[in-house]
Amino acid sequence: MQRVFLTTLLVVAAGAAQAGDIKLQSLDGTVTFTGSFGISAIKANEYVYQGPVKVSQLIWKSRYVNTINGMIDVDLDHDWYASAEGMVGFNGDGHLVDYDWLKPGSPWSDRSLHPDTRLNHYFALGAEVGRTLLSRDNTDIGLGAGFKYTDVQWSAWGGSYIYSGNGFRDMHGHFDPNQKGITFRQVWPVPYIGLNLSHTEGAWSFSSALRGGVSVNAYDIDDHWVRSLRFIDNLDTTPTASLTSSVNYAVSQRMSLYLSGSLDRMFKTRADTKTINEKNGKVYHDKNDAGGDFSSATISFGLKGQF
């Protein structure tokens, strides 16, 4: 069986642009360890308002983010279960677009593009406790409650700009490619309730999990290095949603082919802002003048081995 495990690792490593899943299960089947490799696309929006009108928007994106995931599931007595998970993302193709509107409702007046946008960190941690409520005809339905913490940060370097100075979009130029312009971090703590469904049909097995929650004490930090300004936005509570689905095909008693996809969404919300001038130490407070949201999508596939 060790040879099977090593073969699994080699197959997954050979698909460098893809993802894999390796699963270790305890002898009595009550504890399951899962390690997986995936590819994610993530996006965060940052908004600035004057009253009800949007005057600025920064769109942060990364595609082809490599992710490493770990999970432990424990089957407890009386159909109860507990699980914990962790994910780390790195690399990826990052990009920032920064828009401003001098006249609200008109076409954008200023725009900067930052193709050299680097993902500093991206990780998520979570835990859940639940119970299987219905088990019939190879189908299980369960309900769980949990907490998930998501933290992401980018830094944008160099780039180009189009500004409106003496006229509309009359200024064109480039930033120093060695100059870090903006660093942006979002943090989303989310308690949630989840509905879990699984079904087995011969060699095939299917599972889905739908989670709905709310963000609690979410915030973002925006550092503008050239202007020596830091903006801290305390994001209002907002709904969140997550959907995960997977399919397995058992090629042997302890090995299966695996495909999984997941979507996560923290919906758009407003925020109060604290502005810190790093040069003179002055602090300013503004009510309901900012906002943000976040979304991610992940695909993983490969092999599962049970031990």
Question: What is the domain partition of the chain in residue ranges?
Answer: 39-302
pLDDT band at 1 (very low <50, low <70, confident <90, very high): very low
> What CA–CA distance (Å, rounded) separates 202 from 248?
11
DSSP-assigned letter for residue 14: H
Contact predicate 201/237, CB 8 Å: no
* Residues 153-167 pLDDT 10s: 999 999 999 999 999
**Over residues 227-241, mean pLDDT:** 98
> What CA–CA distance (Å, rounded) separates 83 from 60?
31
* Residues 18-39 pLDDT 10s: 344 445 555 566 777 777 899 9
* Residues 176-233 pLDDT 10s: 999 999 999 999 999 999 999 999 999 999 999 999 999 999 999 999 999 999 999 9
Return the H-helix or E-strand segment holding 12. Answer: helix 2-14
**Over residues 234-258, mean pLDDT:** 89
Instruction: For residue 164, report the phi and psi dihedrals to the nearest 5 degrees.
Output: -105, 105
CATH architecture, domain 39-302: Beta Barrel (2.40)
Residue 156 pLDDT: 98
Residue 75 pLDDT: 86
pTM of the model: 0.88
Residue 297 pLDDT: 97
Q: Give start and end residues of each alpha helix (H) in 70-122.
A: none
Q: What is the mean pLDDT of the chain?
A: 89
Residues in a beta bridge with 43:
61, 295
Maximum Cα–Cα distance across the chain: 74
257: exposed, middle or buried (Cβ count in 10 Å: 0-12, 13-18, 19+): middle
Residue 18 pLDDT: 37
* Residues 51-60 pLDDT 10s: 999 999 999 9
**CA dist 28 to 75, 133, 306, Å?**
10, 22, 11
pLDDT band at 143 (very low <50, low <70, confident <90, very high): very high
pLDDT band at 305 (very low <50, low <70, confident <90, very high): low
Quote helix, strand, coil % in the chain, to nearest 5.
5, 75, 20
51: left (phi over 0), alpha (psi -120 to 50) or beta: left
State how beta strands 116-136 and 171-174 pair.
unpaired
Q: Is the per-residue pLDDT at 169 higher than 80?
A: yes
**Over residues 119-146, mean pLDDT:** 96
pLDDT band at 303 (very low <50, low <70, confident <90, very high): confident
**Over residues 279-300, mean pLDDT:** 96
Residue 252: HSE in the Cβ half-sphere, 13 Å Cα cutoff: 9
Residue 11 pLDDT: 32
* Residues 85-103 pLDDT 10s: 999 999 999 999 999 999 8
**Over residues 242-256, mean pLDDT:** 85
